[in-house]
């Protein structure tokens, strides 16, 4: 049982390049999330998917797109990377919609855009 | 919009000393509050939630609606408590749409 798996762990992009961050969970969770973590700003929600087939914007969605490919996988795409998107990206998942469903996080992807 | 503030970026204490990590929030309704922790080389994980009124690893947190605070406390810090701590707030019934504070790094010195 791996929990939430993110790939890649590290990535360096040049401004304007595109890439997709992959996330998969094996806990049969309904909901999945993408956060970015910046020093002093905590984690900010980019996009989330409450259930398979649905996606919604979070606090900071500009410059990103997401795809809930199936119940297990939730990818985050940067179409044209910018230096402001240099950050650590975390994927998370949670089960049913009640307070006994904490977020389970992946190990993160450290992205640098030059 | 809701907001979570952790005023201390770094808190350094000696082993055995009491610890209090501060968290203040702004939200007009009745939020649910959580503490998440990230130990070195480990994933971010839930430490405790106010609705459970539980004590985890000796830590407790009391929701003070009058002061809009949810400070995390432990009477005697241990070296293994050294980690990054995040206070988080949820305004929905699921407790999974979280707004995080900026985090406080706790260092417990021997």
pLDDT digits (tens, 9 = 90+) for A55-114: 999 989 999 999 998 999 999 999 999 999 999 999 999 986 555 678 899 999 999 999
Alpha helix stretches (DSSP H) within B1-110: none
Residue A16 has what pLDDT?
A: 97
Q: How many CA atoms lie within 13 A of A69 on its CB side?
A: 12
Nearest CA in chain B to A38: B102
Number of other residues whose CB lies within 10 A of the CB of residue A87:
21
Distance CA A58, CA A107 (A): 20
Selected residue of B8, B54, B96 to mutate for chain A interface (largest A Cβ count, 10 A): B96
CB atoms A42 and B4 under 8 Å: yes
Residues in chain B predicted with pLDDT less than 70, given as ranges, are: 92-96
pLDDT at A5: 96
Chain B residue with minimal CA distance to A49?
Answer: B97
Residue A31: both structure tokens together: 């909901």
| Of residues A42, A48, A101, nearest to B103 (C-beta) | A42
For residue B4, give the chain A residue with the closest CA: A42
Distance from CA of B93 to the nearest CA of A (A): 6
pLDDT reading at A6 higher than 80: yes
Least Cα distance to A32 among A98, A95, A112 occurs for A95
Tens digits of residue pLDDT in A11-69? 999 999 999 999 999 999 999 999 999 987 889 999 999 888 899 999 899 999 999 98
* Beta-carbon separation of B96 and A40 below 8 A: no
Per-residue confidence (pLDDT) for residue A87, from 0 to 100: 96
Helix (H) or strand (E) holding B72: strand B72-74
- Nearest residue to B33 (alpha-carbon basis) of B49, B20, B21, B22: B49
The residue behind tokens 């606090």 is A59
What pLDDT score was predicted for residue B93? 58
pLDDT at B45: 93
- Its sign, for the CA torsion B79, B76, B20, A90, is positive
b/e string for B46-62 if b means 16 or more Cβ within 10 A?
Answer: bbbbbeeeeeeeebbbe
Residues of A in contact with B45 (CB under 8 A): 102, 104-105
Contacts of A97 in chain B (CB under 8 A): 93-94, 96
The predicted pLDDT at position A10 comes to: 95
A9 has a pLDDT exceeding 80: yes
């Amino acid at each position: 049982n791996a929990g939430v798996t993110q790939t890649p762990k590290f990535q360096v992009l040049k401004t304007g390049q595109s890439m997709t961050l992959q996330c998969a969970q094996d806990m049969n969770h309904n909901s999945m999330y993408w956060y970015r973590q910046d020093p002093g700003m905590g984690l900010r929600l980019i996009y989330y998917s409450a259930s398979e087939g649905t996606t919604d914007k979070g606090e900071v969605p500009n410059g990103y797109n997401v795809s809930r490919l199936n119940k297990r996988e939730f990818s985050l795409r940067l179409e044209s990377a910018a230096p402001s998107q240099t950050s650590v990206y975390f994927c998370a998942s949670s089960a049913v919609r009640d307070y006994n469903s904490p977020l389970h996080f992946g190990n993160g992807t450290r992205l640098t855009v030059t | 919009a809701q907001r979570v503030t952790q005023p201390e970026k770094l808190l350094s204490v000696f082993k055995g000393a009491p610890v209090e990590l501060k968290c203040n929030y702004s939200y007009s309704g009745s939020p649910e509050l959580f503490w998440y922790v990230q130990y070195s080389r480990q994933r971010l994980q839930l430490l405790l939630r106010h609705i459970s009124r539980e004590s985890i690893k000796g830590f407790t947190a009391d929701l003070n609606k009058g002061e809009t605070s949810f400070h995390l406390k432990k009477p005697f810090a241990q070296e293994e408590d050294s980690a990054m701590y995040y206070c988080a707030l949820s305004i929905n019934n699921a407790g999974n749409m979280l707004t995080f504070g900026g985090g406080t790094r706790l260092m417990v010195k021997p």
